[in-house]
Structures are given as structure tokens and as C-alpha cells.
Structure 1
């Protein structure tokens, strides 16, 4: 999985495919995503659904400054001529009201076909349309969303301990997707449904998101690609200038937050005002 080069130069690719950013969910890796965008330029950027988590924002508003940095980075690229294609997912389904609409270099579509530099065609869509739970039992999808967020919270505690032990980041949800039989079965059925849709459409492959499981392989003669997510995985797909696809795992080394300055009191002030800024007994 290629990463940025050592001197931090901007890498130019033909197309970038991103999905499942989930602005509004805590925690996510938006700082890493901003860093990724600053190190990559593309002729076309496909935002393949769940960029905004409308489900979470409707319940509790959460929009830190780094979200604005992400939006501003996209807008700067659009102003420089990058074509932006937004394909809404189930968490930002409110954007489907704008399907067929153009805002400058930004267009909103439900699905599209991407043609590579060597003439191969790929169906591009979020993929929630082929998730039986989302399509037919939305309440159950919300339950699954709650369970996923609980797993993320548990992960925070697990990885706090792992950092203390100088161990690398470990994902509970990713482990479950690999090991739990039902999760593996659901992913397999999703991949099969998207592969069949691509075959029926008459294209060479399919690029999707939705299941937060980055992958790239051939299935039934169709090239299946999943972009992964920016909640945990920090993955994206790039088409190189010669028409190849690469699955990128971004591991930006972001600077740690600056420590907050501590107020210091003189001995005289501490004696006259013992309760001011003094530690609790």
C-alpha cells in the first residue's frame, strides 16, 4: 500500500475515491484525511457516500474546526479545476435531494461509471442500496450504527492501554469483521450483490464503500474495489496515471496537540488565596 514519499511531496493521480468519512461521528480520523488530501492531487475526486453523518448530527451537533479544514481543502481543489463527484450514502441521504445538480465543479449523482486511462469501466456507488438491512429494516440499521459506535468507544479504552504498553493501534470492529462468522457472511453477500450489479451493468468492475472494509479483488470476472473508511482505517483508492488502482492506507504522523500553559501563582498569592487554582485536597 503506497504512502506519501519521504520528503512529503504532493502526489498526482488520475482519480481519488473516498467514502465513509462520517463528519459528526466521534471519533473519526479527519486530521489524517486533511493531511492525505494535502499530499494528493487528482483530476477527479469521487466522494462515495457517508461523507456527512446526518444520523449523528440530527441527534447531537458536533462540528470541530478540523471539519472546516477538510471542506476547505476540497473547495480549494475544486477551485483549481478538480472535478468533484458526490454520491450520497445512507448516512447523508439528505443529499439525494440534490441528485442531478451541479455547483461549479461539484456534481451530485446516485451512481456513475468511471472510465480508466486504459479504457476499463467501473460502476461507482455507495452500496447501501444493496444492504438488505438498510433497504428493508432501517430501524435495525440504526441499532447496528449504535453497536458500531459502542465498539469505537470500547476501542478508545483498549488502545489507551495499548499505547501505554507501546503497542500499535488495534481495531475491535475490524477484528470482528475478519473473525465473526456472521460479519464475514454479510460482507460476502454485499460483495456478491455489488459484483452482480456491475456485471448486469456491463462494466469491468465496481467501486463502492458502505461496509467500512477496504478490499480489492476479482470476483466472477468483475474487479471489486471497496474504499474502506476514515473512521478507523484511513483508506482510499487511487487510479494512477497509467490506469492502475491502488489501495492506500494513510498513516500520517500528525504533530501532537500543544500542551495547555499552566498558570503559576506566587507564594504570596497562594497564601492569601489558597482556593484559587490550588489542587483539590
Structure 2
């Protein structure tokens, strides 16, 4: 297996702790291999909506929560940005406990001086022009596919095969899903450009990847329900998508870095970049 990359920063979103679909063991595997200086938890880490109906917290999910706390105690700065499934935590934005803080959104400055807006991404849902009935149908189908995904990977595990996302393979073949992703990406790129930033980092749509337009970079770190990917910043400021093994699956497109000096991440309001 290739040597895992060294991480200055790690961005993780859509873990959905508290549900049967959370791939806690795979995320824990990544965190054993990659020790970041700063960890962004970019929304939907805990699925409070699903837990109102039924809370599922098996030992693997409890161990993952404990590992995150150990990272903080070990010196890793953790920034929690609540999403739509853990939106109740937004009332705690601004809270800091030791090396853990909760913020609505942030501006992260990379090692090479680029300023990236970091948010969960659900704020862009209003920019996506998809019929409401189609979104409702898509959500129902998504839950069905996730159930198939669990069955598929349970079988693969018994056969000694690695995790594979059936849900991802199916969504790549659905035109409506592709249009939704494209509109979401355009909305995020537009917001970053409007605020004079170099790029955007988020989650929400469970579709990892990079896009670039007019010198602005879009990064989606994926999820830990279907794709099991995270966004990693190397010590020199390069951005890469990695899987649960810490292996690089995609690198950011080559773009010119800004001349902003290196610094720590700042809440958007404090940095004067709020929309």
C-alpha cells in the first residue's frame, strides 16, 4: 500500500453518526493513518434528524467519537461546522472548548496562501432548480439504494472483498442526479467568487470531486455513507481527495495560488468575508 500522505488539514463531512449507513470503521481507519494538525468536520457529522426516529450507535460509532476526542486532546484543532442534519448545533456557533470549536462557516487559509470558504453546503439548495416532487422521489430512492449498499457490502465483507459504493455507481448513471450536482457546484463557485475568495470546500451532496472556473476552485470532500472520502491538505498547501486507506484518488487541478500570506483559519464574520 502506498505511504499515506502527510496532512496539514483534513476535511470530513456527512458521517451521519447515529444511522445504520455510517461507515464509522472506515473513517476510523483513515484517522489511524492520517494525523492532521487541523480537522474540519464539515456538517452532518451526527444525524440528529434520523436519531429522532431511531438512534443507532453501535460500538464502532462510539469508538469513532472517542477517537475524535483523543485527536483533540493530542493537539489537533477541530472545527465543527453543523450541517442540515445536525442544524440544532448551530445555536452553539462561536463556542470553544479546549481545541474544539463550533462555527457556522469558516475561511481556511492554505499553506500556500489561498483563502477557501468552508461550509456544509445546504445553503445552496435554494439555487438548485429541480422539481420538488423529483427531489422527494430521489430521497426515497436514495434510502432504498443505501439499504442495497449495506447488503452488497456485507456480502463483499464475507467474501473478503473491500468496500465498494453501489450507491455511487448507480447515481453516476442518473441524469437528474448529475444535473443536481452540476447546479450545486456552480452555486458554490459563484459564492466563493462573489466573496473574492480562491475557492470553496463543502460536502452535503455526497459527491466528492474538484471543479475549477475562472480561477476559483470547488472542492467537495464526499461523505462516509457511500463514497468514504476526505479532502486532505498537504504541508505545502496542495489539496487531494483520499479514501479510507489514506490513498490518493484525485488531486486538485493545477491553478495559480494567490498572494495572501499564510495564516490560521478564521470565522467568516471575523475575516470580513460574510455575504
Q: 1:182 to 1:99 in 2, by over 3 A?
A: same
1:110 aligned residue: 104
CA deviations on 1:147-194 (whole Å, 9 max, x unpaired) are 322111123344566678887655342123322111100000000000
Specify which structure has the bigger relative contact order, considering alpha-carbon pairs within 8 angstroms and separated by 6 or more residues: 2
Matches within 5 A, 1:15-94: 15-94=9-88
Provide Cα deviations, 1:4-31, integer angstroms capped at 9, x if missing partner.
63xxxx8641100000000012122101
**Residue pair 1:176, 1:183 contacting (<8 A) in 2 also:** no
The normalised TM-score by structure 2 is 0.80
Asked if residue 220 in structure 1 is aligned to residue 214 in structure 2, the reply is yes
**Aligned twin of 1:279:** none
Query: Which segments of 5 or more consecutive residues in structure 2 lack a partner in the other structure?
Result: 247-275
Per-residue CA deviations over 1:108-158 (Å, capped at 9, x if unaligned) read: 111110001111110000000101399x99998776544322111123344
Partner of 2:196: 202
Name the counterpart of 2:233.
239
Output the TM-score relative to the length of structure 1: 0.79
Over aligned residues, Cα RMSD in angstroms? 2.8
Q: Which has the larger radius of gyration?
A: 1
SS in 2 for 1:13: coil
Secondary structure of the 1:28 match is: coil
Could you tell me how far apart the structure 1 residues matched to 2:65 and 2:133 are?
Answer: 30
Aligned mates of 1:139, 1:205 — CA distance in 2 = 32
Aligned residues: 246
**Structure 2: distance between partners of 1:129 and 1:204:** 19
Q: CA deviation at 1:214?
A: 0.6
